[in-house]
Structures are given as C-alpha cells and as structure tokens.
C-alpha cells in the first residue's frame, strides 16, 4: 500500500509529528517488483529512501522528502534438532513478542533481550544487547534485499561484522540492504547469563535461576527505569555507553571510586553513559517539550509535545555537559533522520542554529 504526504507520528516511538512524501507498506515479498520500481523512480528524482522498522531508534528531525519503506514482513518458522532450535523470523515481527513466545515454548536464550523495543529486522543493524547478551550471540544468518540490484542475499553471522551496537549494515556499502529475515540458533544446553547489574543481585538470592525468572526480572527492571513509549515518547537509550582506554578509566576512578566500569577483552573499559549524565546533574533537565528522564538519565523523553528541535538541543546540552565534566565524547545511539536522509547530532544542531 502506498500513502502520500502522510504523518509518521504513529511510526516512531518519539512521537515526533513529521510527514513522509511517500510511505510504502512492505508486507509481502511478492511486492518486491513494485517496491523496486518505486525506489528507482524516487532516486531518479534525486530523493532519499529510508527503510523503517518499528521506529524505536529514530529521531525524525524534519519532514522526509522521499520514500519511507515501512517493513511489515511477518512469520516465524521454528525447527528443532537434538541439541538446538533454529528460528527463521521475518523482519517485521515484534522483537519482544518473539522473546516472550520463545520463553513460553521453553526455548531459552533470548530472555536477557526482553522488552527491547522494535522489530526483528532492526536487531542485527544495531546488534542489540542488554545484560551481557547481544544479538550476535544467537545469529546464524541475515537475509536481505538489495534495493539497488533487486537481488536477495544471505550473510552469515561472521559476514555481518557484528560489534558493540554496530554491524556491516551500518556501512555505506550496505545502505541499500533491506533486511527481510534473520535466522537464530538457540542451544538446548542453556546457561543463565546473570552476571550483569541487578541480574547478578538476583542470582545471589537464588541458587538457580530459570530462563523464565530472568525474563521476568529483565522485564521488571526495564519497566522500572525505562518509560513505555506508548505513554511517554522516547527512543530508549539515546547515547551509547562510551569505551575509554584503561589509563583514562583509572584517572576517572581516582576521582569517582564508585563509577560503574566494565573492562573489555580488547583492553578498553566500557562506562555507563547514564551514570555520566546523572553525575553531570542533568536528570530532569528540559528544553521545550523534551526532557532527560528522571528515572534513567540515558533516556530523553517527549514530555510535552516536543518538536524535533527540542530533542536535538537537549541532546546537544547533554553531550556538551558530559564532555566538559569528564572529557568523554558521548555518541548517540539514536539515528537522526533529516529531510534528505540520515544525519547526525552535530549536523542537526547546526541546522537548528541556521
């Protein structure tokens, strides 16, 4: 289905009210020829193309002048072997629903990734992760449609080049990749991953945690500290947890002995962006209708009919203040989408000033 000059407010969890010139609902692979023709026409007019999943990691900065492809592909196929389950999941499936359904079926492994908003097709792009677990830990392969050539391809997990909140799908050469399906492998030899944050505390109060218990704990923890986008517009964690060198971490720990820090295999140290923002006294800070969430400083919220400029200026305030206090550059996890396509915070700030 094709819509023109339509609002995208319902398709982004920040609830920013911007319009798309063309909106195409992609819910069946039989639509590929129609979709490719539309992409070709759009680009011939020198207009941008945006692939949109659940809109849970996006800030629309202004009206989009080109084609938005809303990925609504559905379907889950589960096969079982002696030692594992293989899940082939269409890109438009809701991620949390997939996790919950797996737990209900006794298929364990994804429980740490419960309540992460968005659709399955977005999971490999960001290599979503939480509580010591990442998407890459279970990925077998990712299938995608090349919007340029019209060909369907399949990449192995290794070929996806997964890293912290990163993958090959974020590179320039993969800008035409529309993910259609992912394949996940969940072993029956399940082991609890509960050595992170409050899950570790839960483990200390129970001899053995089940996957269902971890799922319930994760849902409870996330519900307590992360606002429901259906009630308060937000895009989850706005900034990435920064990675610093070991010497820089040691300098900071000398000043802040209780600073959360997580040594990485490559020698770097991961810090908690939310803690840095909180220590910069930014909880509750607001510009226009946008605010830093009182319960979780890592989340920026649409508190009162915020426009995109409110969120942009608030994000810049957070980044600047943390830089001044800790000499750490925060990178935004949220994608900035301007009229002609993907942008970034610096460009968005400059546009606001002009």
Q: For 153-164, write each residue's pLDDT tens digit.
A: 999 999 999 998
* Residue 207: per-residue pLDDT: 53
Task: List CB contacts of 250: < 8 A, sequence separation 6 or more.
Answer: none
Q: What share of the chain in percent tops pLDDT 70?
A: 95
What CATH number should be reported for the domain holding residue 309?
Answer: 3.90.78.10
pLDDT over 90, % of the chain: 83
Three-state SS string over the chain comes to CEEEEEECHHHCCCCCCCEEEEEEEECCHHHHHHHHHHHHHHHHCCCCEEEECCCCCEEECCCEEEEEEEECCCCEEEEECCCEEEEEEECCCEHHHHHHHHHHCCCCCCHHHCCCCCEHHHHHHHCCEECCEEHHHCEEEEEEEECCCCCEEEEECHHHCCECCECHHHCHHHCCEEEEEEEEEEECCCCCCCCCHHHHHHHHCCCCCCHHHHHHHHHHHHHHHCCCCCCCEEEEECECCCEECHHHHHHHHHHCCCCCEEECCCCCEEECHHHHHHHCCCCCCEECCEEECCCCCCEEEECCCCCHHHHHHHHHHHHHHHHHHHCCCCCECCEEEECCEEECHHHHHHHHHC
Instruction: For residues 174 and 271, state if they share a domain.
Output: no
> Of 22, 54, 71, which residue constitutes the final position of a domain?
71
Q: How many CA atoms lie within 13 A of 107 on its CB side?
A: 19
Q: Are residues 112 and 46 in the same domain?
A: no
Are 61 and 81 part of one and the same domain?
A: no
- Domain total in the chain: 3
Check whether 201 has a pLDDT greater than 60: no
Q: Which of 3, 140, 278, 333 is catalytic?
A: 333
Q: Residues 268, 246: contact at Cβ < 8 Å? A: yes
* Residue 80 located in a structural domain: yes
Task: Please check whether residues 19 and 125 belong to one and the same domain.
Answer: no
What is the Cα Rg of the chain in Å?
A: 21
Question: Residues 301-329: pLDDT tens digits?
Answer: 999 999 999 999 999 999 999 999 999 99
Low-confidence winner among 118-122, 128-132, 155-159 (lowest mean pLDDT): 128-132
Is residue 269 over pLDDT 50?
yes
Catalytic residue among 143, 237, 319, 343: 237
**Predicted pLDDT at 69:** 97
pLDDT mean across residues, the chain: 93
State yes or no: is 198 an active-site residue: no
Of 71, 98, 125, the domain-final residue: 71
CB count in 10 Å sphere of residue 37: 11
Mean pLDDT of 127-136: 92
Position 228 in a domain: no
Active-site residue 237, yes or no?
Answer: yes
How far is 244 from 258, CA to CA, in rounded Å?
Answer: 17
| 123 and 41 belong to one structural domain | no
| pLDDT over 80 (residue 202) | no
If asked whether residues 54 and 128 sit together in one domain, one would say no
Among 71, 88, 113, residue at a domain's last position: 71
**Chain-centre distance for alpha carbon 213:** 24
Contact present, 337 and 40 (Cβ < 8 Å): no
Give me 61's structure tokens. Answer: 């900065």
Contacts of 111 (CB under 8 A, 6+ apart): 99, 103, 211, 212, 214, 215, 218
Domain membership flag for residue 197: no
Q: Assess whether 56 and 100 both reside in one domain.
A: no
Confirm if 279 and 256 have CB atoms less than 8 A apart: yes
- Whether 152 is in a domain gets the answer yes
Choice among 165, 181, 222, 319 that is catalytic: 165
pLDDT confidence of residue 206? 46
**204-248 pLDDT, tens per residue?**
444 577 889 899 989 998 888 888 888 899 998 999 999 999 999
Asked if pLDDT for residue 109 goes beyond 80, the answer is yes
Res 338: pLDDT: 95
* 33 has pLDDT over 90: yes
Q: Which residues of 158-183 are buried (b: 16+ CB within 10 A; e: fewer)?
A: eebbbeebebbbbeeebebbbbbbbb
CB 275 within 8 A of CB 299: no
24 lies in which domain range? 2-71
Whether 225 is covered by a domain: the verdict is no
The CATH number of whichever domain residue 9 belongs to comes to 3.30.43.10
Q: Which of 277, 262, 269 has its CA nearest to residue 325?
A: 277
Please check whether residues 261 and 336 belong to one and the same domain.
yes
How are beta strands 243-244 and 269-271 bridged, if at all? antiparallel
**309 and 334 belong to one structural domain:** yes
The residues, any chain, with a CB within 8 Å of residue 248's CB and separated by 6 or more, are 269
Q: What are the φ and ψ backbone dihedral angles of 179, each rounded to 5 degrees?
A: -70, 130
Comparing 147-156, 167-176, 317-326, which segment has the lowest mean pLDDT?
167-176
**Closest by alpha carbon to 181, among 124, 247, 107?**
124
| Non-local CB neighbours of 284 within 8 Å, separated by 6+ positions | 291, 292, 294
The residues that bridge with 78 in the sheet, in sequence order, are 87
Taking residues 16-43, report their average pLDDT. 96
Residues 265 and 281 grouped into a single domain: yes
177 with 239, same domain? Answer: no
Residue 203 lies in a domain: no
Looking at residue 131, what is its pLDDT? Answer: 86
For the segment 246-275, the average pLDDT, to the nearest whole number, is 95
Q: 165 catalytic, yes or no?
A: yes
Domain assignment present for residue 286? The answer is: yes
Residue 202 covered by a domain: no
Confidence of residue 195 (pLDDT cuts 50, 70, 90): low
Res. 11: pLDDT tops 70 = yes
Q: Are residues 52 and 124 in the same domain?
A: no
Look up the CATH number of the domain holding residue 113.
3.30.465.10
């Amino acid at each position: 289905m094709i819509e023109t000059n339509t609002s995208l407010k319902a398709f982004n969890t920040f609830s920013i009210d911007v319009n798309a010139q063309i909106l195409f609902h992609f819910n069946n692979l039989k639509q590929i020829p129609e979709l490719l023709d539309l992409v070709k026409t759009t680009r011939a007019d020198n207009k941008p193309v945006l692939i949109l999943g659940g809109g849970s990691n996006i800030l629309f900065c202004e009206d989009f002048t080109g084609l938005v492809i809303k990925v609504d592909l559905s379907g889950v196929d589960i096969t079982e072997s002696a030692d594992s389950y293989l899940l082939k999941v269409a890109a438009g499936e809701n991620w949390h629903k997939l996790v919950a359904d797996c737990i209900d079926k006794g298929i364990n492994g994804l429980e740490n990734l419960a309540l992460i908003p968005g659709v399955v097709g977005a999971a490999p792009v960001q290599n979503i992760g939480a509580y010591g677990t990442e998407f890459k830990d279970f990925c077998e392969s990712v299938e995608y449609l090349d919007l340029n050539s019209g060909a369907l391809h399949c990449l192995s997990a290794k070929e996806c080049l997964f890293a912290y909140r990163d993958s090959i799908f974020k590179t320039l050469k993969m800008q035409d990749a529309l993910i259609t399906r992912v394949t996940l492998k969940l072993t029956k030899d399940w082991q609890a991953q509960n050595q992170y944050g409050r899950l570790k505390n839960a483990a200390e109060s129970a001899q053995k945690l089940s996957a269902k218990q971890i799922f319930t704990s994760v849902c409870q923890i996330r519900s307590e500290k992360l606002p429901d986008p259906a009630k308060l517009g937000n895009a989850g964690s706005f900034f990435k947890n920064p990675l610093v060198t070991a010497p820089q971490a040691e300098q900071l720990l000398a000043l802040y002995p209780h600073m959360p820090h997580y040594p990485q295999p490559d020698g770097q140290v991961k810090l908690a962006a939310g803690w840095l923002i909180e220590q910069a006294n930014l909880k509750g800070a607001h510009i226009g209708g946008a605010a830093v969430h009182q319960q979780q400083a890592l989340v920026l919220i649409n508190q009162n009919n915020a426009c995109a400029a409110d969120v942009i200026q608030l994000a810049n305030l957070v980044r600047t203040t943390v830089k001044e206090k800790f000499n750490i550059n925060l990178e935004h996890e949220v994608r900035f989408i301007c009229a002609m396509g993907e942008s970034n915070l610096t460009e968005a700030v400059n546009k606001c000033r002009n």
